[in-house]
Structure 1
């Protein structure tokens, strides 16, 4: 039998060296997963987004948008379930936050530990009303910013309070709520429609919610 020349044997050996199969490469590392842990004490870091000249104080009221809208005490809402959009169940003793007042309105940023609750069907709450004491409010849906791993809700509120003597006072509020798993955060901007000063707008409040959630998670 005629043998192949030595050069052919060398070439054959090179080809067959790959017949055993190359060892499997190690799996590539997973992309870095962002840290979505919420640290409530960090909410003060969002104050840097305020315009100059605002006076800041710790928030000490009830940790719900209803409270900053001026709706205190028992609230009647139509439809009834919509009230939970503005009063999500939280543990009041866990609340942390601040308020800031200036020529463009009063700004609130609050975070609290969430309490278990069934989700509210927001589609039925594009327009609803709420009444408490001498204050009544009309609330409409407002587009909310999208946040990673969060459910957000936006509300535009026009509230009227009848004070002594039948005089009416009015206030507008743009509010954004972020449900962050074990925590609920909200930002509200309350303005006087009759103010002589330029008012901050809903876009500012939406951006502040983004800044606030980023501060809580950073």
Structure 2
């Protein structure tokens, strides 16, 4: 991870996000009339492991899976505004979650699907207007999350998030990380892909384009 010199308190980072962002809000793709007949099968998520570059180590996701967890935020994390927490960690049944994580030179890749016809995961479109930019904090880690344009997927609503996080460590230095997350709300399921990179790494990061492409391929694989 990238290490920098002494920094101001994490609270300064959070407070600084109150400034108004003059840029227009990003667009998320709305649900379209789907021509896809296959139903989502969470077990198929293992198929997209083959999309990783050569040399990646891959393991099944164990324990709670959410964008916030993949960003590196531990239990008890919170967001401001509070309602944006639904985008970072929607209420789900862990027993319905399937996924995998891969680690390699270009960063860490996570792919997961959660939900079921009896425990559906849905998106309140109001959140897209309320959460153009927001903060998430946990302990000594604070992040700024910005909505970004998401790829269009037939029959789904997609949301993109760019997360820049800092962790203040012993001695007053900080650890930086960057993550791109794309979520797709498909039928009764939430599918999400996160790519976490180290800004100080000498290796080329997989980045935003890879994450956007992977969410499209993941939804396709889940549909069969």
TM-score range, shorter chain: 0.7 to 0.9
TM-score (norm 2): 0.79
Question: Any gaps of 5 or more consecutive residues in structure 1?
Answer: 1-31
Alignment of 1:26-105 (within 5 A): 33-105=35-107
Greater relative contact order (Cα < 8 A, sep 6+): 2
Give 3-state SS (helix, strand or coil) of 1:166's partner.
Answer: coil
Q: How far apart are the structure 1 equivalents of 2:121 and 2:194?
A: 23
Structure 1 distance, partners of 2:38, 2:179, is: 28
| Length, aligned pairs only | 187
1:126 aligns with 2:132: yes
Could you tell me which residue of structure 1 aligns to residue 214 of structure 2?
208
Paired position in structure 1 for 2:181:
175
> Residues 118, 204 of structure 1: CA spacing in aligned structure 2 closer, same or farther, 3 A cutoff?
closer
Give unpaired runs (5+ residues) of structure 2: 1-33
Alignment RMSD: 1.7
User: Structure 1 residues 34 and 94, CA, compared in 2 at 3 Å: closer, same or farther?
Assistant: same
Moved over 4 A (4+): 114-118
Name the structure 2 match of 1:198: 204
- Give the drift of 1:33: 4.7
What pairs up with 1:138-149 in 2 under 5 angstroms? 138-149=144-155
Q: Give SS of 1:146's match.
A: coil
**What TM-score, normalized by structure 1, do the two folds share?**
0.81
Q: Which has the larger radius of gyration?
A: 1
